[in-house]
Amino acid sequence: MTTQPETTARLLVTCPDRPGIVAAVTTFLYHHGVNVTELDQHSSDASGGKFFLRLEFQTPNLDVGRDALLRAFGDVVGKPFQMDWRINFAADRPRMAILVSRHDHALMELLWRYARGELRVEIPLVVSNHADLRGAVEGFGVPFRHIAFSAETQQAAEAEMLAALENQCDFVVLARYMRILSGDFVRHYTSRIINIHHSFLPAFPGGDPYQQAYTHGVKLIGATAHYVTAELDQGPIIEQDTARVSHRHSVDDLKRLGRDMERQVLARAVRWHVEDRIIVDGNKTVVFS
Positions marked active-site? 233
Q: Both ends of the chain: CA-CA distance in Å?
A: 16
SS3 168: coil
Angle 258-225-52 from CA coordinates, rounded to 5° = 145
| Cβ–Cβ under 8 Å, residues 196 and 106 | yes
Q: Is 212 exposed, middle or buried (0-12, 13-18, 19+ CB in 10 A)?
A: middle
- Distance (Å, rounded) from C-alpha 73 to C-alpha 86? 10
Nearest to 147 by CA among 131, 170, 134: 131
Strand partners, 225: 196, 239
| Cβ–Cβ under 8 Å, residues 164 and 224 | no
Residue type, 204: F
State the CB neighbour count (10 A cutoff) for residue 165: 20
